[in-house]
Amino acid sequence: MRGNGRSGSRAKSDHGFIIVVVMSVALLFSVVARAAPAAEGQRATPVACHDDMAPGANGGDLADFACLSAAAQANVIRERIADGTLGTMPDSRLIALVDAMKPEAIVAYTRLAIGAGSSYEYWMRRRERVNGKWPAQADHMEVYCQDSPQRVYVKWLPDGAHAGQEIIYDATRDPTRFLGHFGGAWHFLSGRFRVDGTFARTQSRHSVRDLGLQFVVHTLEHEEGSFEAEGLSARPAHVDIETANGRRLLALTWDAPDGPPAHFAPRVTLTFDLRRPQLHGVIAADASGAPLEEIDFEQIVPHVWTDEAFDPHNPSYDFR
C-alpha cells in the first residue's frame, strides 16, 4: 500500500511538472511570436485606405494618406521632404508611409523630383557593364538637356573615364545622328555618328536620346505596365533607408522576372535624397546581383538654354 501511495504521489508530481513545462513553452512561443515582426525588419503590411488598425500613434494619418490619389500622394511626399519632415522621420514610420503609396504615385513623385521643366543641367557619375566588362573608373559627365525639342550636349570631365569627350545631339538639325569627338585631347575619332549605330554602342547600351532625365520616368512607366501585364504588383519589393556620403536616402527596389525588353533589368533600385526633392541615383543589376549600371546624380538644376548651348561652334567647346 505504501508503494502504491508513493507511485500515486510521483504521478501527480510528474503531471504537475508536465503542466509547468507546457505552460512555459506556450509562454515562450507567445513571446517569440510577438517579437517576430521586429526581428524580420521594420517593414510591415502596407496600410490600406481607411484602415482603422493602422499601426503607430499616427496610423490614422497613414490610412488617410493611402486614400489620396497618386498625384496627391506625390505632392505630399514632395512637401514633406521640402519642409524637412521626412528627413527626420524614423525609418519604420517612413517605410510605412512609402508602403502606403500607389505605384503610380512613385512615378508621379519621380517626375516631380526630376523637375517639371523640360530644360535643365545636371552632373552625374556613371558606370555601365559593356560587353561583359565592368569599368574600373566611372564617367564623370556634365549634361545640358532640353527635352522638347530634344537637344543634348555632354562633356566628360577630367576626373572621370573618357575625359575630354564631347557630344551634341540636336533633333531639330538631324534626328538620326549626333556629333562627337573621342580619344581625349587628341581627338582620335571625330565626326557624325548614327544615333543607333554600332559605334554609338561601344561605350553604352543606351542611345544618346536616353540622356534626358525623362528616360527614368518613361522607364518606370514601362516597368509598371510590364508588371501589370504579368499579373504582378508594381510596388517596390524592398523599401530601405540608406546613408551615402552623409546623406539620408530612400531606396526603392523592384525585382522583375527577367530583363529587356519587358524590364529594364532583373533588379532596379532608385534612390531619392531625403533632404531635398531630388532623384539621387539609379542602380541596375542582373538576376545574380552583379551590377549592370550605376548612376549617381550629383546635382540637377533647371536651366533655360539658348541655341548656343547646342552649337558645335560654341567657343567653350572643343569640336574641330
Q: Give the model confidence (pLDDT) of 136-159 as tens digits.
A: 999 999 999 999 899 999 999 999
Q: What is the pLDDT of residues 153-199, one digit of tens each?
A: 999 999 999 999 999 999 999 999 999 998 655 556 788 999 988 77
Confidence of residue 27 (pLDDT cuts 50, 70, 90): very low
Residues 92 and 144 in one domain: no
> Is 42 among the domain residues?
no
Task: Tell me if 9 is assigned to some domain.
Answer: no
User: Could you tell me if residue 310 is left (phi over 0), alpha (psi between -120 and 50 degrees) or otherwise beta?
Assistant: alpha
pTM for the model: 0.80
**Segment 287-294 long-range contacts (CB within 8 Å, at least 24 positions apart):** 287/258, 290/129, 290/134, 291/127, 291/129, 291/134, 292/128, 292/129, 292/265, 293/126, 293/127, 293/128, 293/129, 293/265, 294/126, 294/127, 294/128, 294/138
Q: What is the domain range of residue 86?
A: 59-101
For position 154, what pLDDT does the model report?
Answer: 96
For all residues of the chain together, what is the average pLDDT? 83
Question: Are residues 123 and 246 both part of a single domain?
Answer: yes
165 belongs to a structural domain: yes
Residue 287 inside a domain? The answer is yes
Residues 221 and 126 in one domain: yes
Residues 141, 241, single domain; the answer is yes
Cα→Cα distances 173→192, 212, 278, Å: 12, 18, 32
- Read off the pLDDT of residues 64-113 as tens digits, 9 standing for 90 and up: 899 999 999 999 999 999 999 999 999 999 999 999 999 999 999 999 88
Based on the fold, state whether residues 274 and 126 are members of the same structural domain.
Answer: yes
Candidate from 58-67, 174-183, 214-223 with smallest mean pLDDT: 58-67
Whether 208 is in a domain gets the answer yes
pLDDT band at 47; cut points 50, 70, 90: low
Tally the domains of the chain. 2
For residues 145 and 223, state if they share a domain: yes
Check whether residue 126 and residue 177 sit in a common domain: yes
Q: In what order do the strands lie in the sheet with 139-146?
A: 189-194, 177-182, 166-170, 151-156, 139-146, 119-128, 291-302, 278-285, 267-273, 247-255, 238-244
Evaluate whether residue 33 is within a structural domain: no
Statement to judge: residues 77 and 186 lie in one domain: no
What was the pLDDT predicted at 116?
A: 58
Determine, yes or no, domain membership for 271. yes
pLDDT at 31 over 50: no
